[in-house]
Amino acid sequence: MDMEKETMIKKIEKLKQEKDVVILAHNYQLPEIQDIADYVGDSLGLSQKARNCKEKIILFCGVHFMAETASILCPDKKVLIPDLDAGCSLSDSLTLAQLKEWKKRYPEAVVVTYVNTSAEVKAESDYCVTSSNAVKIVNSIDKDKMVLFGPDMFLGSYVSRVTGRKNLRLWAGECHVHAAVKPEDIEKARREHPDAKFLIHPECGCVTSCLIDAYDKGEKDSIILSTEGMIKEVEKSKEKEYVVATEKGILHRLSKISPQSQFHLVSEELECKYMKMITLDKVLHSLENEVFEVKVQKEIRERAIIPIQRMVEMS
Ligand code: 13P
Ligand code: SF4
């Protein structure tokens, strides 16, 4: 490691102690960010950690909606994000105005939104879900009720197939990184790595065909997984070879868990520019100056916490 990085890490560790800070990082963060974090995980795990942490300040190394969720769950803590521009294309694909309009067309429907949404959109939702609990939560809703599910259409189509629900309406949103993974990319990877185990995130554009394929092969429980689901699967199976269809940042943790395994990313393009905006120098700047604070207006927070709490309690 170069001297400059080493010096920054030392300063970060010192400030963290002095200011009583917990650093939470998503599985897609840069390796050096994951290494300085107190906890690395998926959207659900990070929300649970935020809710239970004792420290005064939460430094969130992830994207804006994740820091917002932490702030909704812990209104008395200072939640910081090192770069306010770390957004999410999926979250941007369903605005408050669009959701209100959609709800007007289906006034009786139950609204289920992915955690990748703004606080305003959560405030208009009945349930919040992540990729690791979407099936369970949708299954818990009265079978006769219409469900509006958004914004990710690929996760939505996966949930619809697994639950067999016909009364699920999908919003046509997507994550620009995962939507690019097409069925032909998976077919090519299957030909190139015939013995590898496949780990596919439900936001991927190939998810429907991959699910059908997985059912045929009898591997439906181990193939389509949230980021933390992938971590657990590798901890358990420790295969020789895996093909991974999600953002490349996860390879750092996977390789640490099973250094003897080979991990092939289904495409080198799988990189989220927003996640990569969080760098060591920005983390240091954030700690030194206690910026940039993410705070949600009381009126929105009081409504947004309801679907988030339902999710955390049911997981
Ligand atoms: P996970 O909840 O599976 O970590 O997914 C978050 C995300 O942003 C995926 O693109
Ligand atoms: Fe959003 Fe996609 Fe980036 Fe995840 S990978 S944070 S869904 S843009």
Residue 47 lies in a domain: yes
Average pLDDT rounded to a whole number, residues 144-164: 96
Give the pLDDT of residue 295: 97
What are the distances in angstroms from CA 160 to CA 5, 168, 221?
Answer: 46, 7, 16
Given ligand 1 and candidates 26, 135, 252, 315, which is best to mutate, with the most ligand atoms within 8 Å of its CB? 26
Rounded distance from Cα 88 to ligand 1 centre (Å): 11
Rounded distance from Cα 87 to ligand 2 centre (Å): 8
Give the pLDDT of residue 220: 64
Residue 30 lies in a domain: yes
Residue 54 lies in a domain: yes
- Which residue did the predictor score with more confidence, 276 or 132? 276
The widest CA-to-CA distance across the chain, in whole angstroms, is 61
Structure confidence at residue 66 as a pLDDT band (50, 70, 90): very high
Structure confidence at residue 58 as a pLDDT band (50, 70, 90): very high
CA distance 121 to 96: 5
What are the distances in angstroms from CA 106 to CA 93, 164, 205?
Answer: 19, 20, 27
Average pLDDT rounded to a whole number, residues 141-169: 96
What are the distances in angstroms from CA 185 to CA 41, 130, 248?
Answer: 26, 25, 16
CA distance 103 to 82: 35
My answer on whether 182 and 217 are in the same domain is yes
CATH number at residue 141: 3.40.50.10800
Nearest to 127 by CA among 153, 144, 145: 145
Residue position matching structure tokens 């050096």 = 32
CA distance 160 to 302: 30
My answer on whether 152 and 228 are in the same domain is no
128 beta partners: 113
My answer on whether 159 and 195 are in the same domain is no
- The answer to whether the CB of 51 falls within 8 A of the CB of 89 is no
Question: For all residues of the chain together, what is the average pLDDT?
Answer: 95
The string of pLDDT tens digits covering residues 232-268 is 999 999 999 999 999 999 999 999 999 999 999 999 9
Give the pLDDT of residue 221: 60
Residue 234 lies in a domain: yes
The string of pLDDT tens digits covering residues 94-125 is 999 999 999 999 999 999 999 999 999 999 99
Given ligand 1 and candidates 116, 129, 252, 312, which is best to mutate, with the most ligand atoms within 8 Å of its CB? 116
My answer on whether 240 and 104 are in the same domain is no
My answer on whether 191 and 254 are in the same domain is yes
Q: Which atom of ligand 2 lies nearest, measured to the CA of 203?
A: 7
Residue 187 lies in a domain: yes
Provide the CB-side half-sphere exposure for 149 (13 A, CA): 29
Nearest to 183 by CA among 141, 211, 152: 211
Rounded distance from Cα 131 to ligand 1 centre (Å): 7
Give the pLDDT of residue 217: 77
pTM of the full predicted structure? 0.96
Residue 270 lies in a domain: no
Count how many domains the chain has. 3
Structure confidence at residue 210 as a pLDDT band (50, 70, 90): confident
User: Read out DSSP for 58-92?
Assistant: EEEES-HHHHHHHHHH-TTSEEE-S-TT---HHHH
- Residue 287's SS3 state is helix
Give the pLDDT of residue 222: 61
The residue whose CA has the least distance to atom 2 of ligand 1 is 43
Give the pLDDT of residue 211: 81
Structure confidence at residue 45 as a pLDDT band (50, 70, 90): very high
CA angle 65, 39, 150 (to 5 degrees): 30
Rounded distance from Cα 178 to ligand 2 centre (Å): 8
> Which ligand is nearest to the Cα of residue 46, counting in written order?
1
Name which of 129-133, 136-140, 222-226 the model is least confident about: 222-226
The string of pLDDT tens digits covering residues 277-291 is 999 999 999 999 999
263 beta partners: 242
Range of the domain at 73: 3-87+275-296
Q: Is the CB of 247 under 6 A from ligand 2?
A: yes
As a whole-number percent, the residues of the chain with pLDDT over 90 amount to 91
My answer on whether 282 and 234 are in the same domain is no
SS3 content of the chain, % helix, strand, coil (to 5): 50, 15, 35
Residue 147 lies in a domain: yes
Residue 227 lies in a domain: yes
- The answer to whether the CB of 81 falls within 8 A of the CB of 24 is no
Please check the confidence at residue 1 and state whether its pLDDT lies above 80. Answer: no
As a whole-number percent, the residues of the chain with pLDDT over 70 amount to 99
The sign one gets for the Cα dihedral 88, 90, 95, 100 is negative
Rounded distance from Cα 115 to ligand 2 centre (Å): 11
CA distance 247 to 29: 9
My answer on whether 117 and 261 are in the same domain is no
Provide the CB-side half-sphere exposure for 243 (13 A, CA): 21
CA distance 159 to 310: 18
